[in-house]
Amino acid sequence: MRRKHCAISLLWLLLFVSFCLVGLISAGRRTAIKASAASDAPIQLPKVYDDANLLTHEEEQRLEELCARYGKKGKADLVIVTTDGSTGIDCEVYLENMYDELGFGYNQKFGDTVMIIVDMGTREVCIEGYGLAETRVRQSRSDYIRENITPMLSAGRYYDAFCLFTELAAKCMRLRGSLNPDSLLLSPIVQLFVSLAVAAAVVGSMAYHSKGHMTVGSQTYLNRANSNMLAQQDDYIRTTTTRTKRPSSSDSGGGGGHSSGGGTSSGGHSHSTSRGSF
Amino acid sequence: MVIHYKCPRCGADMAWDSVHGMLSCESCGHQMRAEDYQTTSHEPEASFGEYASKLQNDLQEYHCQNCGAVLLTDRETAATTCSFCGAGVVLADRLSGTDAPVFVLPFSISKEEAMAAFKKWCKNGMLTPKGFMTANRVKNITGIYVPFWLYDVGGIAEADATATRVRTYTRGDYIYTETSYYHVYRRMRIQYEKIPADASEKMNDAMMDKLEPYHYQDLIPFSLPYLAGFLAERNSYSAEEVFDRARRRAAAYMDQQLRDSISGYSSVTYNTKRTDPACQKAHYTLLPVWMVCYDYKQSEHIFAMNGQTGKIVGTPPLSKGKIAAWFAGISGGLFAAMQLVTLLMGGVFL
């Protein structure tokens, strides 16, 4: 009886310790963020450049605050740009020029930055990531951000789109590895289900193996001396061939053509890109 | 006719010793092989006429030669121990003539070894309750020779099928799927040797099946001395009555072998499949089983152990507390671990 109680208490203790650990680490990180935010006081560049006048003055203010807040969380400068396309410059190049000119960066000049531009002239949206953001916000992740805000842009809800951008960009910056922030593997509910299912399978197999089972098969009682193949035929009849057209590699991801990849600004700063129409 | 196996040196009752493979006397330690024993048959209790009428009754009345007590047995018991003086007796008339078994597989595991093996098995389970693991409430452990019919079954197995081989390749803008059809025919002669089926009414068939396999190289021609000191049962069913079980098993095995003989194809569709096992021979055999009756929480659990290989079959009780603890432990630990990894990856957005 005592041994069973000891084992159960040990298991509960293990669980309790793991949860305490989680809590401590998260608390530690929160204080680290606060500390760094206090000591870091770089030249505060404005983050919202609304040249196409899509936002009201109050919305611009609020977006500045959001950029500051989520920028701290994601440890990257978040920059929002809108243009009406009158300059004629390609939106991707436009962002590159801004970066080279103004030198955004959370940790240093020309540092980690996530930039978004909405070009009302060509109706294109482009997201670029510099520094650490080049790895943390690239390919499927930047496509993920862009695809989530494109419906809002198409509906004309620019403010909401930019709010969502700041939130998602910060999430992507924090997440290591290559999973998207909305990946099922990270969801606590899915993890709970998986752990319950695995535990059920393990306990089930233990219960199944506790009793005895048949251990003989079709070969156990075979009298090999008296068993043999009498007749065997494998006759070819015919062949039928069908073909299907291969799905072309250039299929659309989300409304119109898009491309992602990377590039380098004229100032020599490399970045990741994701652009598409809305 | 009651037979006692008396030691020629001291006159005490001898019993079959599985450790040495001989009849051995507990009092003086004398050992002798079963073949060397000369059965001194005692006078039949009654004349032939009375003897025949006694066979009609369900309860046969025999008398222990040592103490004179009545040996109460039922119709199937062929060997037992006297409940008063403990002498091992063999009821020879039930196992002689046309009722005689052909083979017997002597016990390889002695009573002490069986108890030790059972105790070890009880400890092994991860879900067995604590009280069960100490295995000190064994109500009784009995060595029984269980009657089996060992069937030599076989016949012709035939299968006619259409099989396909599929090959895919890409050329240009198209994916080609090439399916080749084959007509497959197999005809095999398959013979199985000594498929066991238990012939005793009292023994649970499923449990007896799970005790297999027995190693038949130790099978020897039947003779009575091997039974001394153990319980033995006579068959309740004839070879024809039990054959259906063996036939079904043989048919399933033949089916499996037919399937295994057709290989290298992506898919096989059977047009006809014929398996027709027939019984060539049936050997009436006594196989050794240790029956353990365990008293746990006012309910009896019965376990059977193969008397030659030691394989134990039975349903042990499962401790609900242990199941809950394992479940909570594994799921909790796994969940905590996954959350920890997520946290380290930065996925927990605080």
Domain ranges of chain A: 13-42, 44-180+259-277
Contact B189, B156 (CB under 8 A): yes
- Chain centroid, CA B321 distance in Å: 32
Q: Which of A183-192, B101-110, B241-250 has the lowest mean pLDDT?
A: A183-192
- More reliable by pLDDT, A91 or B58: A91
Q: What is the per-residue pLDDT across B147-184, written as a single tens digit (0 to 9) for each? A: 999 999 989 999 999 999 999 988 888 889 999 999 99
Mutation for testing the A interface, residue in B173, B177, B334, B341 having most A CBs under 10 Å: B334
A241, B178: Cβ pair inside 8 Å?
A: yes
State yes or no: pLDDT of B40 exceeds 80: no
CA distances to B54, B57, B70, B256, B271 from B64, in Å? 17, 19, 6, 52, 64
- The alpha-carbon gap from B135 to the nearest alpha carbon of chain A, in Å, equals 15
The pLDDT value recorded for residue B45 is: 43
Q: Which residues pair with A221 in a beta bridge?
A: none
Which chain A residues have a beta carbon less than 8 Å from that of B314? Answer: 211-212
Contact A119, A85 (CB under 8 A): yes
State yes or no: pLDDT of B197 exceeds 70: yes
State yes or no: pLDDT of B46 exceeds 60: no
Task: State the Cα–Cα distance between residues A11 and A2, nearest whole angstrom.
Answer: 14
The residue with tokens 């006078």 is B43
Highest mean pLDDT out of A260-264, B53-57, B324-328: B324-328
- The alpha-carbon gap from A88 to the nearest alpha carbon of chain B, in Å, equals 39
- More reliable by pLDDT, B109 or A1: B109
Task: State the Cα–Cα distance between residues A122 and A91, nearest whole angstrom.
Answer: 9
Domain topology for A44-180+259-277: Diaminopimelate Epimerase; Chain A, domain 1 (3.10.310)
State yes or no: pLDDT of A258 exceeds 70: no
pLDDT band at B285 (very low <50, low <70, confident <90, very high): very high
Q: Which chain A residue is nearest to residue B257, measuring alpha carbons?
A: A218
Mean pLDDT calculated for residue range A70-91: 87
The pLDDT value recorded for residue A34 is: 54
Q: Which two tokens stand for residue A140?
A: 């499927």
Q: Which of A249-253, A274-278, B272-276 has the lowest mean pLDDT?
A: A249-253
Mean pLDDT calculated for residue range B41-59: 46
Mutation for testing the A interface, residue in B204, B339, B340, B341 having most A CBs under 10 Å: B339
Q: What is the per-residue pLDDT across A50-60, written as a single tens digit (0 to 9) for each? A: 888 888 999 99
As a whole number, the mean pLDDT across chain A is: 81
- Which among B152, B192, B316 is the nearest to A210, CB-wise? B316
The pLDDT value recorded for residue B44 is: 43
pLDDT band at A254 (very low <50, low <70, confident <90, very high): very low
B346, A176: Cβ pair inside 8 Å?
A: yes
The pLDDT value recorded for residue B148 is: 92
As a whole number, the mean pLDDT across chain B is: 83
Reported ipTM: 0.71
- The alpha-carbon gap from B128 to the nearest alpha carbon of chain A, in Å, equals 8
Task: State the Cα–Cα distance between residues B254 and B275, nearest whole angstrom.
Answer: 7
State yes or no: pLDDT of B280 exceeds 60: yes
Which chain B residues have a beta carbon less than 8 Å from that of A166? Answer: none
Mean pLDDT calculated for residue range B223-245: 87
Task: State the Cα–Cα distance between residues B26 and B47, nearest whole angstrom.
Answer: 34
H or E element, residue A21: helix A2-39
Contact A104, A111 (CB under 8 A): yes
- More reliable by pLDDT, B75 or A275: A275
* CA distance between the termini of chain A: 68
Mean pLDDT calculated for residue range A158-180: 86
Domains in chain B: boundaries = 2-99, 111-320
Mean pLDDT calculated for residue range B47-55: 45
pLDDT band at A111 (very low <50, low <70, confident <90, very high): confident
Mean pLDDT calculated for residue range A196-219: 86
Burial class (CB in 10 A: 0-12, 13-18, 19+), B146: buried
Cβ pairs A/B, distance under 8 A: 227
The pLDDT value recorded for residue A102 is: 87
Q: What percent of chain B has pLDDT over 90?
A: 21
Mean pLDDT calculated for residue range A88-99: 87
Q: Which of A81-85, B120-124, B174-178, B251-255 has the lowest mean pLDDT?
A: B120-124
Q: What percent of chain A has pLDDT over 90?
A: 9
CA distances to A22, A71, B347 from B350, in Å? 12, 14, 9
What contacts A106, CB < 8 A, 6 or more positions away? Answer: A40, A42, A71, A75, A76, A77, A112, A113
The pLDDT value recorded for residue B269 is: 92
Q: What percent of chain B has pLDDT over 70?
A: 92
Which strands form A259-264's sheet, in the order they lie side by side? A48-50, A77-83, A113-119, A124-130, A270-277, A259-264
Mean pLDDT calculated for residue range A80-107: 87
Q: Is the peptide bond between B213 and the residue preceding it cis, with omega within 30 degrees of 0?
A: yes
B318, A238: Cβ pair inside 8 Å?
A: no
- Which among A213, A218, A233 is the nearest to B253, CB-wise? A218
State yes or no: pLDDT of A38 exceeds 50: no
State yes or no: pLDDT of A37 exceeds 70: no
The pLDDT value recorded for residue B145 is: 92
Which chain B residues have a beta carbon less than 8 Å from that of A176? Answer: 344-346
